[in-house]
């Protein structure tokens, strides 16, 4: 993170700054809006912004009202380390992500504190939610759970209080945006598949984290659309810094970078560059935020075992579908993706011991209230070590059988 940190920036309701900022943005005229290019595969996730964008395509602005069962679940989401996001998805008729985001933005006073545009925020959230493909695992429900977990880390995990007070609204905004967009437009296949099949996304991003680069590029395209740019009143230097942090957070969700990130974080917390007087130092902000998103992204390992098994089944099914695809196109089937062999649910013990426990241990060492997640991860680890494996395998298989086929949104 550069020295001009969030801590050094303040938000002005300043017309001059606003006008300058607006002129800096790649704004589109109404003619340009009406002739946005035809969605290609690369643009599939942002296709709702395509031809003929009109107010009827933005149904979220100004009127979102949730009924009592949804309100009760949102109340629970504010304080649960093991939230049943599936129940919220069902009760809200597929709007768990939007419902949670609006709740947290409101609770934390971000709209008022940062002069965000509430209607454009709703537009943005609606486009994000609809731009997620209904993959078994990488879908808007997973993202809603990641957002809820990040909120818990910040509030009940007391991580937000570890940042300089003046920067807290921007830290929170940055974190929420990163969570909301972090798997946007995920195609249900991993980076290896994209790279080895020379997919358009791999070609575009030169084989560097094609999934994560795609999520960012597609989501920022939506965010900066005039109808969705809820940050338009923020000074441009603040928006640039938020964008820089969000990019670094989402890129570090690429699991091929996991061990390097954990190692960097452990070195950081052992050094004098981490905290002073109980506050995270400016140069450490970037890495701390990266770790928080990673911890939230893997939160399915820290929730009640019954919910955890649901997500394991979903991930296993998504991996099998990739294996099916590899077989169809004549590629070698990737490890743990062959439907005729044991899947990733059979390798959970090693995954917890090598990946999950060290992640939450590192974070708990830095922020002790995160130990709730660590303890829950250890409970789930025990399930995989001590549980009856054939019974668990049967449960996972049953859960997998109920996952609907993947359908792609078409404009
Ligand atoms: Zn994710």
Token output for 25:
């943005």
Residue 348 marked as a ligand binder = yes
CA–CA dist 176, 233 (Å, integer)? 18
CA–CA dist 351, 343 (Å, integer)? 13
Pairwise pLDDT comparison (35 vs 91), residue with the higher score: 91
| CB-CB contact of 137 with 311 (8 Å) | yes
For residue 10, what pLDDT is reported?
44
- Give the whole-number percent of the chain exceeding pLDDT 70: 83
Residue 345 marked as a ligand binder = no
Q: Output the CA 374–ligand 1 centroid distance in Å.
A: 19
Mean pLDDT of 349-370: 97
Q: In 359-388, which positions are buried (b, 16+ CB within 10 angstroms) versus exposed (e)?
A: bbbbbbebbeebbbbbebbbebbebbeeee
Mention the CATH class of domain 69-401.
Answer: mainly alpha
The pLDDT confidence band at residue 64, using thresholds 50, 70 and 90, is low
Q: How many CA atoms lie within 13 A of 3 on its CB side?
A: 0
Note the helical H segments in 108-257: 110-113, 118-131, 140-154, 168-181, 191-196, 200-204, 210-223, 236-251
For residue 410, what pLDDT is reported?
39
Asked if residue 18 has pLDDT above 60, the reply is: no
Q: Over the stretch 328-348, which tens digit does the pLDDT of each residue have?
A: 999 999 999 999 999 999 999
For residue 86, what pLDDT is reported?
96
Residue 357 marked as a ligand binder = no
Q: Output the CA 143–ligand 1 centroid distance in Å.
A: 6
Token output for 286:
């970037």
Whether 300 is catalytic: no
Residue 206 marked as a ligand binder = no
Q: Output the CA 30–ligand 1 centroid distance in Å.
A: 35
Residue 381 marked as a ligand binder = no
Q: Output the CA 403–ligand 1 centroid distance in Å.
A: 18
Q: Output the CA 293–ligand 1 centroid distance in Å.
A: 9
Residue 135 marked as a ligand binder = no
Asked if residue 42 has pLDDT above 60, the reply is: no
Pairwise pLDDT comparison (292 vs 60), residue with the higher score: 292
Q: Over the stretch 142-168, which tens digit does the pLDDT of each residue have?
A: 999 999 999 999 999 999 999 999 999
Strands (E) located in 327-406: none
Note the helical H segments in 65-135: 68-77, 85-91, 96-107, 110-113, 118-131
Q: Over the stretch 116-132, which tens digit does the pLDDT of each residue have?
A: 999 999 999 999 999 99
For residue 80, what pLDDT is reported?
98
Asked if residue 6 has pLDDT above 90, the reply is: no
Mean pLDDT for all residues in the chain = 87
Q: Output the CA 238–ligand 1 centroid distance in Å.
A: 26
For residue 381, what pLDDT is reported?
97
Pairwise pLDDT comparison (37 vs 268), residue with the higher score: 268
Closest CA to 342 of 305, 307, 389: 389
CA–CA dist 24, 17 (Å, integer)? 10
Q: So where are the chain's domains? A: 69-401
Q: Output the CA 311–ligand 1 centroid distance in Å.
A: 12
Q: Output the CA 54–ligand 1 centroid distance in Å.
A: 31
**127, 138, 186, 381: the active-site residue:** 138
For residue 387, what pLDDT is reported?
87
Closest CA to 294 of 252, 353, 351, 328: 252
Q: Output the CA 339–ligand 1 centroid distance in Å.
A: 23
Residue 286 marked as a ligand binder = no
Q: Over the stretch 206-258, which tens digit does the pLDDT of each residue have?
A: 999 999 999 999 999 999 999 999 999 999 999 999 999 999 999 999 999 99
For residue 34, what pLDDT is reported?
31
């Amino acid at each position: 993170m550069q020295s001009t940190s969030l801590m050094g920036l303040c938000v002005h309701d300043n017309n001059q700054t606003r006008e300058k900022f607006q002129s800096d943005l790649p704004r589109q005229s109404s003619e340009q809006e009406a002739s946005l290019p035809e969605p290609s595969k690369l643009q599939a996730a942002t296709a709702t912004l395509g031809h003929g964008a009109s107010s009827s395509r933005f149904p979220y602005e100004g009127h979102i009202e949730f009924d009592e069962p949804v309100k009760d679940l949102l109340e629970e989401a504010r304080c649960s380390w093991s939230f049943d996001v599936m129940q919220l998805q069902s009760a809200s008729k597929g709007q768990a992500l939007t419902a949670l985001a609006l709740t947290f933005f409101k609770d934390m006073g971000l709209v008022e504190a940062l002069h965000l545009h509430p209607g454009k925020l709703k537009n943005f959230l609606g486009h994000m939610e609809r731009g997620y493909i209904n993959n078994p695992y990488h879908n808007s429900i997973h993202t809603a759970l990641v957002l809820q977990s990040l909120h818990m880390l910040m509030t009940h995990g007391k991580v937000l209080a570890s940042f300089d007070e003046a920067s807290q609204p921007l830290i929170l905004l940055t974190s929420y945006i990163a969570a909301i967009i972090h798997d946007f437009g995920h195609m249900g296949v991993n980076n290896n598949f994209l790279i080895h099949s020379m997919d358009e996304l791999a070609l575009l991003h030169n084989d560097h984290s094609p999934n994560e680069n795609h999520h960012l590029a597609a989501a920022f395209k939506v965010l900066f659309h005039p109808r969705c740019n809820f940050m338009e009143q923020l000074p441009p230097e603040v928006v640039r810094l938020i964008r820089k942090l969000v990019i670094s957070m989402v890129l570090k969700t690429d699991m091929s970078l996991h061990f390097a990130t954990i190692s960097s974080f452990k070195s950081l917390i052992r050094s004098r560059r981490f905290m002073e007087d109980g506050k995270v130092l400016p140069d450490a902000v970037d890495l701390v935020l990266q770790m928080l998103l990673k911890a939230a992204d893997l939160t399915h390992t820290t929730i009640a075992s019954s919910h955890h098994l649901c997500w394991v089944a979903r991930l296993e099914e998504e991996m099998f579908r990739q294996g099916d695809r590899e077989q169809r196109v004549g590629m070698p089937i990737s490890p743990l993706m062959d439907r005729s062999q044991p899947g990733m649910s059979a390798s959970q013990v090693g995954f917890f011991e090598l990946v999950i426990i060290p992640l939450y241990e590192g974070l708990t060492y830095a922020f002790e209230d995160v130990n709730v997640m660590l303890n829950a991860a250890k409970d789930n680890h025990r399930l995989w070590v001590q549980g009856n494996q054939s019974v668990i395998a049967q449960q996972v298989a049953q859960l997998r059988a109920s996952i609907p086929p993947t359908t792609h949104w078409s404009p």
